[in-house]
Structure 1
Amino acid sequence: MAAPALVALAHGSRDPRSAKTITALVQEVKAMRPDLRVERAYLDRSRPDFQKVVDRLVKAGYDEIVVVPLHLTDVLQTGADVAVAVSSATERHPGLQVRVTAILGLEACFLEVLDERLREALRTSRVRELDALVLAAAGSTDPLANQAVARLARLWGTHHKLPVTAAYASSAPPATGEAVRAFRAEGRRHIAVASLFLSPGFLADRAAELAVEAGAVAVSAPLGAHPEVARTILARYAVGAVELVPV
């Protein structure tokens, strides 16, 4: 009996860099678990569409699918969109079982990825001294999602023994530029920004642009196709696959 298929599900983007990153991340997952059927899919704007991926898996003989939403923070609308997409798929394919796992979330291990990406940015910018950090995320209308980012920022700051502020590209203050200017008003001049985004796109670009305009000395790339992110996808899959086992 084949193991359930894994579908890494992302929101679509018109930015080709985003699709390239998701593809590379899924390839990383496949390399770690070559025994699994692993597919990428999107909810909107990009291909392959989730419904078509499900159709292809059913045609290949899979009747169990584990869906891992590729989101760092909980967004109510996203959860609703995923539920609607899964409901549509199971209605079209009687007998198909689909388990949606928890989102990627904000795992503490992602701080290691942030550090790695930030070190790359600091080397490129030839920066050797820092006196403050900004953790830039997408932002949400859900205050709990923003609080989760703020908690991760505090943990990161404790690790580096530096002041850290969480900033958001949309929906909530402060923006990255505001956060950098606030530190500069305190007399700090060596402020770097880490991009807590999974892949490049409009929000990540905007956050970086505002940070540089405000005087940030370096801005990191998003998390991207990193082994820690791939391992987290597989950890979510493992839980979902167990939940599909009949009791």
Structure 2
Amino acid sequence: MSQPVLLVIAHGSRDPRHAATVHALTQRVRAARPGVRVVTGYLDHCAPSVPQVIGRLAAEGVRDAVALPLLLTRAFHAKADIPAVLREATAHHPRLAVHQADVLGPSPLLVSALERRLREAGLRPGDRRSTGIVLASAGSTDPEAIAVMDDIARRWRHTGWRAVRPAFASASLPRTEDAVRQLRAEGCARIAVAPYVVAPGFLPDRIARGAAGADLLADVLGDAPELASLLLRRYDAALAPSRMSLSA
């Protein structure tokens, strides 16, 4: 029996770097799990859309798929947008069963990916205790998503950084530049901004502009191997209940 298709659902952006980064990430996932077919659908701005992909899969006779939101927190897109899009699209294709996977975060693998990007940007192991980190995300008005960012920053701080502060490019405060100034006022010898975003685009560019007063800006998570591993973990977890019921 073939493995269910992995449908990665990305937000989409007018910035071509966004789709290119999503493509690089899915290529890494394919290389890690050759037996799984990986396709991508976008919510906005890019093609193909999620309904278009589901229609194509159904036309090919695919019976099972896992829809995996390429999102780092459970906010509006994960709670409302994506379930609504999937309900509407699958209603026209009742023979295609789509299991929705959980969002990517929080996860220790994401923290490992953040650490990787910081090392690649030039931070050395000996810099840890003198460095303040700005954990910069796109932002949300959802209290759950904001609380998750606070918790990630608090836990990451306990791994040895001088300080870790969450910041947001939109919807919430503080902004990246405000968090940089706060850490500077607290006496951090070095300040690094770690974007908690998957791909480049409008809001990641805003994070980059806010990092102008920092000493170092890490790259987006992109196609980090930890991120590819996490996608496959979420894929497997989404299938676990159905696999158990099939074997019962």
Residue 75 of structure 1 and its aligned partner are, at CA, apart by 1.1
Residue 23 of structure 1 and its aligned partner are, at CA, apart by 0.5
State the partner residue of 1:239.
237
RMSD, matched Cα: 1.8
Which one-letter code corresponds to 1:107 in the other structure? S
C-alpha distance after superposition, 1:107-142 (max 9, x if no partner):
11211211111122226xxx9684311111111101
Which one-letter code corresponds to 2:230 in the other structure? T
Aligned partners of 2:116 and 2:233: how far apart in 1? 22
C-alpha distance after superposition, 1:154-176 (max 9, x if no partner):
22211124111111111111111
Q: Secondary structure at the match of 1:106?
A: coil
Aligned partners of 2:72 and 2:147: how far apart in 1? 13
Aligned partners of 1:94 and 1:186: how far apart in 2? 58
State the partner residue of 1:104.
104
Do 1:134 and 1:192's aligned partners in 2 also have CA atoms closer than 8 Å?
yes
Residue 77 of structure 1 and its aligned partner are, at CA, apart by 4.1
Cα 1:204/1:164, change in 2 over 3 Å: same
Pair 1:150-2:126 in alignment: no
Do 1:42 and 1:50's aligned partners in 2 also have CA atoms closer than 8 Å?
yes
Aligned partners of 2:23 and 2:69: how far apart in 1? 14
Do 1:99 and 1:244's aligned partners in 2 also have CA atoms closer than 8 Å?
no
Q: Secondary structure at the match of 1:244?
A: helix
Q: After superposition, where does 1:195-214 map in structure 2 within 5 Å?
A: 195-212=195-212
Pair 1:192-2:185 in alignment: no
In structure 1, list runs of 5 or more residues that go unmatched: none
Residue 189 of structure 1 and its aligned partner are, at CA, apart by 4.2
State the partner residue of 1:159.
159
State the partner residue of 2:116.
116
Aligned partners of 2:79 and 2:99: how far apart in 1? 13
Q: After superposition, where does 1:1-247 map in structure 2 within 5 Å?
A: 1-122=1-122, 130-212=130-212, 215-245=213-243, 246-247=245-246
Aligned partners of 1:15 and 1:133: how far apart in 2? 27
C-alpha distance after superposition, 1:87-116 (max 9, x if no partner):
122211122211111111121121121111
Do 1:134 and 1:180's aligned partners in 2 also have CA atoms closer than 8 Å?
yes
In structure 2, list runs of 5 or more residues that go unmatched: none
Do 2:162 and 2:188's aligned partners in 1 also have CA atoms closer than 8 Å?
no
Identity of aligned residues (%): 41
Aligned partners of 2:103 and 2:133: how far apart in 1? 26
Aligned partners of 2:187 and 2:91: how far apart in 1? 60
Do 2:54 and 2:90's aligned partners in 1 also have CA atoms closer than 8 Å?
no
Q: Name the TM-score, length of structure 1 as normaliser.
A: 0.92
Residue 243 of structure 1 and its aligned partner are, at CA, apart by 3.1
Do 2:193 and 2:216's aligned partners in 1 also have CA atoms closer than 8 Å?
yes
Residue 188 of structure 1 and its aligned partner are, at CA, apart by 2.9
C-alpha distance after superposition, 1:71-95 (max 9, x if no partner):
0011124431111211122211122
Residue correspondences, number: 242
Aligned partners of 2:72 and 2:28: how far apart in 1? 18
Do 2:17 and 2:199's aligned partners in 1 also have CA atoms closer than 8 Å?
yes
Which one-letter code corresponds to 2:110 in the other structure? F
Q: Secondary structure at the match of 2:105?
A: coil
Aligned partners of 2:110 and 2:214: how far apart in 1? 22
Do 1:7 and 1:66's aligned partners in 2 also have CA atoms closer than 8 Å?
yes
Greater mean deviation of Cα atoms: 53-62 or 226-235: 53-62
Do 2:29 and 2:229's aligned partners in 1 also have CA atoms closer than 8 Å?
yes
